[in-house]
Amino acid sequence: MILITDGGSTKCDWIAIDKNGKQTADKIRTKGLNPAIVAEKKLKKTIKGNDELMAIANDVTHVYFYGAGCGTEKPRLLLKEILEIYFPKALVEVKEDTYAAVRACINSNDEAAVVCILGTGSNCSYYDGKDLHQRVNSLGFILMDDASGNYFGKQLIRDYYFNKMPDTIRVAFAHKHNLDADFIKYNLYKQTNPSAYLADHAEFMFINKDSEYIQNLIIKGIRLFAENMILQFKKELDSGVPVHFAGSIAFFGKDEIKQVADELGFKVGNFVRRPIEGLVGYHINNL
């Protein structure tokens, strides 16, 4: 049995397939397992505490984990060691989530493309048809992650407190979220996953997209991401490679992304909301 995982900071989706490429059970969902920000004890608790995973643990021969926070060696090896504990008969491969986006988005294994992730966090890489290239090292959600869920959540909260929201949006935002200052600070500075907490506020944008304020907010974030991340591959873009997008923020913001692409002159390719679905197809084709 092969276990494929799309691991974000907020949640992880797990799908098991047998040697014939048939999905053996419903998709399993756990809390996020970003090893760069989640403590080892909590990583273990999340995996061990899921009865569905533990029920199949001894039948798993391969684990392919694609996750946020797995782009550097120390957190990647930490998560690999933990997975090897709970799936003792499996060969475990842990790769950063960008590989999941690449394999889910590209039209063929050797297609060259710029691939972006806009989910809880954000990232951008160039895939040359064989290898993945990054020219900017991510410094995490505090300093980077433009146009991500946590970026937009932060902007919404800031605009609320700086009185930059239109009154109708302000009232709706306060109705949907607890905006008490002590509650916000507790979640940001005393809880273990502040990026996911911030990203939880981003959904508000997409149920209020008829607002000019919201549209401008989305466009500003996408433009910032494009200028800082996508355009670092200008040479490749000028050769005509497409820019693919994965993640919920990208999927629901595709109109704004296309607008910024027209403005900055790059070609938009595919949009994939949940990379896990494309990953299953990739691994079935490569059994």
- The CATH number for 12's domain is 3.30.420.40
First-to-last alpha carbon distance for the chain, in angstroms, is 11
Domains in the chain: how many in total?
Answer: 1
**Residue 161 lies inside a defined structural domain of this protein:** no
**Residue 184 lies inside a defined structural domain of this protein:** no
Q: Which residues contact 164 (CB under 8 A, 6 or more apart)?
A: 158
Strands 91-96, 62-67: parallel, antiparallel or unpaired by DSSP? parallel
Q: Tokens in use for 84?
A: 């090897």
C-alpha to C-alpha distance for 75 and 38, rounded to whole angstroms: 10
**Residue 225 lies inside a defined structural domain of this protein:** no
Domain coverage including residue 65: 2-101+276-285
Give pLDDT, residue 287: 67
**Residue 35 lies inside a defined structural domain of this protein:** yes
How many C-beta atoms lie closer than 10 Å to residue 225's C-beta?
Answer: 26
pLDDT in 10s for each residue of the chain, 287 residues = 999 998 888 889 999 998 888 888 788 999 999 998 899 999 999 999 999 999 999 999 999 999 988 988 999 999 999 999 999 999 999 998 888 889 889 988 889 999 999 998 899 999 999 889 988 888 888 999 999 999 999 999 999 999 999 999 999 999 999 999 999 999 999 998 899 899 999 999 999 999 999 999 999 999 999 999 999 999 999 999 999 999 999 999 999 999 999 999 999 999 999 888 788 888 887 76
